[in-house]
């Protein structure tokens, strides 16, 4: 088995995608991460679903979760509207954490070592045709555990 065999297809998104579009993509594809790419398709970063969820929470709720408990369902409409109005570029840091990229021929043990070293639950599998990247998908820790069991 190689990275290409274990990769979970991930549709890449650009920085101008809304948080709602990003969330819909993660849910639709059951993806372990959202892969953000540049205009020319180069991977810029990969974000776990929890990062997208955190971005749509009001700051006050992030700082004090008891506010959400007190507000109940009344914040849901606000969060939906907020997610539809914000773009990824609005909530991501200026310096994006670089993605962990492996070749399609990477072995499971290589991917596990890369994830462990970086403290990441996933890697991106990218094939390059010259300078042009082709995202094959993501491999997460669960896929590697499944491989070894």
Q: What is the mean pLDDT of residues 130-145?
A: 92
> What percentage of the chain exceeds 90 in pLDDT?
47
Cα separation of 58 and 38, whole Å?
27
> What percentage of the chain exceeds 70 in pLDDT?
99
Q: What is the mean pLDDT of residues 22-42?
A: 89
Q: Which residues contact 87 (CB under 8 A, 6 or more apart)?
A: 15, 16, 17, 18, 19
The tens digit of pLDDT for each residue in 37-76 reads 998 889 999 988 888 888 888 777 778 888 777 776 777 7
Q: Which residues contact 117 (CB under 8 A, 6 or more apart)?
A: none
Q: What is the mean pLDDT of residues 13-25?
A: 91
Cα separation of 16 and 21, whole Å?
10
pLDDT at 149 over 80: yes
Distance of CA 36 to the CA centre of its chain: 7
State the pLDDT at residue 72. 66
- Partnered with residue 33 across adjacent β-strands are 48
Put residue 90 in one of left, alpha, beta given phi > 0 → left and psi -120 to 50 → alpha: alpha
Cα separation of 144 and 108, whole Å?
6
pTM summary value? 0.82
Give the Cβ contact number of residue 64 at 10 Å: 11
Q: Is 102 strand, coil or helix?
A: strand
- pLDDT bin (cut points 50, 70, 90) of residue 31 is confident
Lowest mean pLDDT among 2-6, 80-84, 115-119, 142-146: 80-84
Q: Which residues contact 149 (CB under 8 A, 6 or more apart)?
A: none
The tens digit of pLDDT for each residue in 99-127 reads 999 999 999 999 999 999 999 999 999 99
Q: Are 134 and 106 in contact (CB under 8 A)?
A: no
């Amino acid at each position: 088995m190689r990275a290409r065999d274990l990769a979970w297809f991930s549709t890449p998104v650009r920085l101008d995608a809304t948080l709602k579009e990003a969330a819909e993509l993660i849910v639709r594809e059951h993806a372990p991460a959202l892969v953000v790419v540049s205009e020319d398709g180069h991977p810029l970063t990969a974000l776990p679903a929890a990062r997208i969820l955190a971005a749509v929470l009001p700051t006050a709720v992030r700082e004090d979760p008891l506010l959400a408990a007190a507000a109940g369902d009344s914040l849901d409409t606000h969060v939906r509207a907020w997610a539809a109005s914000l773009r990824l570029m609005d909530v991501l840091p200026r310096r994006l954490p670089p993605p962990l990229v492996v070749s399609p021929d990477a072995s499971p043990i290589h991917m596990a070592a890369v994830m462990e070293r970086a403290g990441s639950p996933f890697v991106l599998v990218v094939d390059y045709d010259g300078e042009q990247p082709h995202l094959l998908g993501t491999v997460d820790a669960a896929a590697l555990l499944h491989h070894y069991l």
